[in-house]
Structure 1
Amino acid sequence: MSQGREASWSRRRSALPLVLVLLVGQRCATDYCSWKGSGLSWEPHSRAVEQVHLRCTEGFLEWMYPARALRVILEPNLSSARHTTVCIKPSSNFQGANIYVEHDGQLHLLLSEVEESRLNHVSCFSTHTPQRVALFLQASPQRDISRRTASFQYELLSNQSTTGLDYQKMALVEAMCRPCDNMELLMAICSSDFVVRGLIQNVTHDVKNHMSQVEVGVRRVYRQKNQIFQQDKANGEWHGPIKTLLQCKVKKGAGDFLFTGNEHFGEAWLGCAPRFKDFSAVYQTARERGANPCEFQFD
C-alpha cells in the first residue's frame, strides 16, 4: 500500500475505540466463504455485535436492513502467509453502513456510504496479519424502515501482485504491459485461472476507470476457473471478455493468440498473451530440454 494511502487511513480514524467491539456481547455465525443476513432478525434491545467468520480467499457479504454493528473476520484456512492484501468491492447500491478496518487497536474508515463516487470501485489495504483480518460494519442511523443493503465482495491477494499499487491504476502481475519472457509464459500456462486460444474481435476503452476490455473469439478453452468464456447457443461459437489496463494500449489486430490470466471479482484480467505459434515454439524447445514446468495439450 502506498504511503499516501496509509496517511489517509491515519487521518480518517474512527472515534469508536476497538474496545467497544470487544466488550459488547457477540453472536457468532457459522463459517462461510460468503454470508447473507438481516438486521431485522436481531433482538430489538440487544447490544450484541454479530460476528461472522469467512474462511476463504474470496467471497461476498450481504447485510440487509443493517442494524447496530457487524464484525467480519477474514480468516482464510491457509498454511502459508502469502495473502497480505485485502480488496473490497462494494455493490453499486451499497447503503446503510460504513466499513472500518481494525488495525493496531483502532478502527480506520475504509468506506462510507456517503462516498457515492467510490461505490462499485475497489479499495485495497495491506495487513501485517494476513491470516486474520477484521472488518467492522457500523449501521447508519435510519429514520425509516426502507430497504437498505450493505453488500460487498472481498478478495485476498498475494503481496507479489499488489505491492505499492492502487487497484484502479495498478498493473496486477498478470496484466503488466510488457511482454512476458519465456519462463513467465511457461509458468502462466500452469498457474493461470484461464488459458484460451483465440482471436481479438474487438477492443473497447474505459478512460474514466483506466481500463480496456478485449472481446475474444475463442477457438479452444484449455482451462477456466469460472464460466467467463461461454458458448453462444445460436451459432455454437465461444467468446468472452478480458480486461487489461488502458495504459497497455491494446488494439484490435489479426492473429491467433494464447490468452492467459487470472480472475478478480469475477472478471478475467489479461496476463501473458503471445501469438500461438510463438508460444508453441517456446514450449516445444522447453519440453525437449525437460524444462517445461507442466504439460500442455495441443490440439
Structure 2
Amino acid sequence: MENLLYVCGFLLMMVTFSSQCDSCDCNISGGVGVHVAALTCKSGFVKWYNPTGALRIVVSQTKTPFATTCFVVDTSDVRIKISQEVAPSANSKSPTDRSRHVMNDHNLRTVYTGKGRSQEICLTTDTDIVLFIEPEMGSLLGTQIVSFQYDISERKPLDQTDFMEECRPCSEEELLTAYCASDFVVVGRMQDVHHFNEKTHIDVAVSQIIRQTGSHFSRMRRDANELQGTITAPRKCGVAKGNGVFLLTGRERLGELRMGCAPYLEEWEQIVSEAERTGRMQCTRD
C-alpha cells in the first residue's frame, strides 16, 4: 500500500523540526493508501480533506518523560475510527501469536469511534504516540474534512502529582505573568456556569478585551454593550458563579479558552499599581 509522508512544522518538507516549535499546521488531501503526518511541535492541527485510505499520525513527545498528548477530532459527515498503535506484550503472547507480528510488531487499540466533534482524549506516555485515523462511512455530497487538533503538556508521574495544583489561586507574580503572556486577557463578569463531564463551562459577559487570539468573544446583538463567550475549567476545581467584575486570563487550547488566573478586577488593579510602582511589571499595562 502506498505511503504518503508529511512532516508538519512551519513548512511541509521532509526534514526534522525541533520539538520546541510552537505550532504544526498541516493540510492533507487526495491520494490513496496511508498518509503519514509527523507532528514535531507542542501543539497544532492536521486537516484531512476528502479522506480515503488511512491517516497515520505520529506525535513526537517532548524530551521530558510522562508527557501527555490531548487531542480532539472534528468531522463533517464522516464517521471515523481512531486507533492507537501499541507494542504487544511479549509475556502475553504465545510463540505462535508473536510470530504473526514479525512484519507488524504493533497492535491497534481503538480509542474513538464516531463523527462530529469528539470529547477531549488524553494519552500519557514517555514515547511517541502513533494514531491511525480511518473513515468508516460518510456523505457523498460536498467536501469531507477530518480535523485533528492536539496539544502536548508535561505531566508528572501519578505519585508526584498534586491533582488540585491547577485549582489553587494565583500568586501575585503569577497574576502579573498571566496578564502579560496569556492568550486572552479580558474584563468581564460571570453569567452562568455549567458542568459537563470533567469540564466546567463558564459563560461570561466581556466589557473590555485587552488581548485575545481568534474571535471567541462576539456580540450577540448589534445594540449590546458586552461581548459573550465561554471559558472552560476543570470540573474538579468546583467553579461556581460569582458576582462582581473579574480580570479573566488563560490560554487557547484545542479550540477552547481555558481559564488561567481570574482575580477580581479591584484586587488586580491594586496588584498592578504596586507592581508598576516597584518596577515588577513585566509589560506595559493596556
Superposed pair shares fold, TM > 0.5: yes
**Residues 24-69 of structure 1, C-alpha deviation per residue, up to 9 Å, x if partnerless?**
542234726133435xx43xxxxx53323445521133364532x3
Stretches of structure 2 that go unaligned for 5 or more consecutive residues are 13-23, 89-104
- Paired with 2:208 and 2:139, the residues of 1 have a C-alpha distance of 48
Matched with 2:79 is 95
Whether the 8 Å contact between 1:94 and 1:119 is mirrored in structure 2 is no
How far did residue 112 of structure 1 move?
4.3
The one of 97, 122, 125 equivalent to 1:124 is 122
Runs of 4+ aligned residues of structure 1 deviating over 4 Å after TM superposition are 80-83, 102-105, 116-119, 145-150, 162-165
- Paired with 2:262 and 2:208, the residues of 1 have a C-alpha distance of 14
Matched with 1:200 is 190
How far did residue 123 of structure 1 move?
1.4
Which amino acid counterpart does residue 26 of structure 1 have in structure 2?
Answer: N
SS in 2 for 1:153: strand
Matched with 2:249 is 260
Matched with 2:46 is 60
Stretches of structure 1 that go unaligned for 5 or more consecutive residues are 1-23, 43-47
Percentage of matched positions with identical amino acids:
25
**Residues 52-94 of structure 1, C-alpha deviation per residue, up to 9 Å, x if partnerless?**
3445521133364532x33223469xxx757932212133766
Whether the 8 Å contact between 1:33 and 1:55 is mirrored in structure 2 is no
| Structure 1 residues 85 and 108: CA distance shift in structure 2, 3 A | farther
- Paired with 1:127 and 1:147, the residues of 2 have a C-alpha distance of 38
- Paired with 1:96 and 1:198, the residues of 2 have a C-alpha distance of 39
Which amino acid counterpart does residue 33 of structure 1 have in structure 2?
Answer: D
Matched with 1:223 is 211
The one of 72, 80, 83 equivalent to 2:57 is 72
Matched with 1:8 is none
How far did residue 101 of structure 1 move?
3.4
SS in 2 for 1:62: strand
Root-mean-square deviation (CA, aligned residues, Å) is 3.7
SS in 1 for 2:79: coil
How far did residue 99 of structure 1 move?
2.3
- Paired with 1:219 and 1:151, the residues of 2 have a C-alpha distance of 35
Matched with 1:26 is 3
| Structure 1 residues 203 and 112: CA distance shift in structure 2, 3 A | closer
How far did residue 264 of structure 1 move?
1.7
Which amino acid counterpart does residue 135 of structure 1 have in structure 2?
Answer: L
Which amino acid counterpart does residue 73 of structure 1 have in structure 2?
Answer: V
Is the aligned partner of 1:85 residue 2:80?
A: no
Whether the 8 Å contact between 2:201 and 2:233 is mirrored in structure 1 is yes
The one of 231, 235, 250 equivalent to 1:246 is 235
SS in 1 for 2:25: coil
Whether the 8 Å contact between 2:71 and 2:148 is mirrored in structure 1 is yes
The one of 117, 137, 153 equivalent to 1:158 is 153
- Paired with 1:101 and 1:186, the residues of 2 have a C-alpha distance of 42
How far did residue 286 of structure 1 move?
2.4
SS in 2 for 1:240: strand
Which amino acid counterpart does residue 222 of structure 1 have in structure 2?
Answer: I
1:123-202 superposed matches below 5 A:
123-129=121-127, 133-138=129-134, 147=140, 151-160=146-155, 164=158, 176-202=166-192
The one of 202, 205, 210 equivalent to 1:214 is 202
Matched with 1:9 is none
Which amino acid counterpart does residue 4 of structure 2 have in structure 1?
Answer: R
